[in-house]
Structure 1
Amino acid sequence: MWLGISGCSPVPLAEQTYQGAALGTSYAVKLFSAELADLQPGIDSVFQVINQSMSTYWPDSDISRVNQGDTTVAVDEQFREVFNTSKTIYRKTGGYFDPTVGILVDAWGFGPGSSLEMDSIVVDSLLHYVGFNKVSLRADNRIEKADPAIRFDFNAIAKGYAIDRLAVFLDNKGITDYLIEVGGELRSRGMNQARKQPWTVGIDDPQVTQGRAIKQIVRLTDQSMASSGNYRKFRIDSVSGQKYVHTIDPLTGYTRNSNILATSVLAAECMVADAYATAFMAMDLKRSKKILADSPELEGYIIYLDQAGNTQEFMTPGFMKALGGAASEPEE
């Protein structure tokens, strides 16, 4: 996904751009402000706090300690927000969004832990440790697990949450026009004041694997957008040559090979969009359509293959309204 500046202002607003690496990916923050200030320390601080709370790659983070069975950890506000939102979406998706899938993510070779030789016996045994209904957040902010071996992996919601926290940081600085991107997930406020137009972003064509091509252009105004797809995230078994996609079906324990190529979701909060975009990759199209129809706070776009193998697109009316407009040169 790329960011396009579209958006001259009668007000002397200065454009600022911050970019770098965080959370195992890249980020970019573009904003307009009447006052020039160095916001980098604040941006760095947001990422630091989230890593300390939820990074499975930091051995001393709260989530790593919880995963290791440390029952003395009182999780912070960030962890609690993500936990509670995850539980809500877990229920609404019938378990297709499940951050306790981490043990399977590792086992299939997509996480920080050791991969395993996977067969039906191993999968069935690991499913014993999967299920967000098996964990709870106590009043003293400690996590209670039905089995100490249950592990969390908030990777499918943490990038979106980081964006939401960066948005709060910018809002508190009085900045009303910005676009935040972390690993392809996005949140906007106001407009691109350079041209007085909404921020424009591109959705990748999932069937173009060499380089990038844009499938759709979306105008974002006070919205978040997250996308998910199997087209670039996979591994090839060195022995069998079999392709394993990155989406894990938490109900079956297996990697998900389906006719869903890519999903994009619009929502107010990026962590919500992030979680649903992931869930829609794991479930069938009919179920995703039902959730979107029952959730006025969400708009969705799903690229899939029909029974004849032809590429088809489904989008909600609200998502269709967000499409259109010419974008300028992409900025990474």
Structure 2
Amino acid sequence: MSSPSSRMLALLSLLQVHRDWPGDQLAERLAVTPRTIRRDVDRLRELGYRVDALRGPAGGYRLAAGSDLPPLLFDDDQAVAIALALAVAPASGADIAESAARALATVRQVMPARLRHRVDAVGAVTTTGAVRVDPDVLVAVSESVHRRELLRFDHAPDGDARPARRVEPHAVVARHGRWYLLAWDLERDDWRTYRVDRIAPRARTGVRFVPRPVPGDDAAVFVAARFKGSDRDDVWPCTGSVLVSADGARTLAPYLPDDAVVEPTGPDEVRVTLGSWSWEGLAAAFAAFVVDFTVHGPPPLHDAVLALADRLRGATLPAAPPSP
């Protein structure tokens, strides 16, 4: 059986999930009796934690919300997760690098040596990137999503002459080091995605709205799909393949995108499959290869490659006559 202190820490960790816990489930998770759970809950209350008892046939417990809770306690895995999250926070795109570094130093100081070694072993090196989001703006936009409140803001690419945007904010999505607001634009009567670093919120409107169903029921997938030119699914609308030599495939390997599919079709031949938002864009992607290739299909890719070849030939100036 675990020691009372470690068991109470595990119990507090479960209660901090902010859900109702039947007493028998807590006892099963901690491998103790319901009577032991009751005693541990009483000890937590003596320490100042507000643990409410739930009525019902099986009974249960809930950690009540409050502003005067004692310092939170974390088990080993939670402490390491917090430290690692703070370490990589600068890569999130939010302008919190200095605050995250100070918070990480504070957390690390109170960690036991065994946990400090686990965190220090990671040795994460992150970059903040050229685009950073003001944390106050990020919080303001996120709060409007949480409150389901109409949001008015100026958007940098629009210029000063355009009126403020009026949107129903549905989700804030972090993607590749940038933050995006997914919202229903009331003027365009359609879904729009806005970069949060370009948003300047205006005064709160206080106007509530009823959330609309996000296509596909997944905001992150929907935003990713929009970047690929798709209306719903996180897939490229145009996908095609070319054949290259095995040596050519090895040359290309370091430069292929993460979603490229490379399949051997013979001892000296490889099929490379890529996706793009258009057939013209896909033809250009293959044209950027530094090795020879043959179009495998489908037919729209074949036609786009021929059209691109004609455009490139037309863009070539006639050679100047040799000097006399």
TM class, shorter-length:
under 0.3
Higher-RCO chain (CA-CA 8 Å, sequence separation at least 6): 1
Structure with a larger share of its residues in strand: 1
Q: Which has the larger radius of gyration?
A: 2
Give the TM-score normalised by structure 2.
0.23
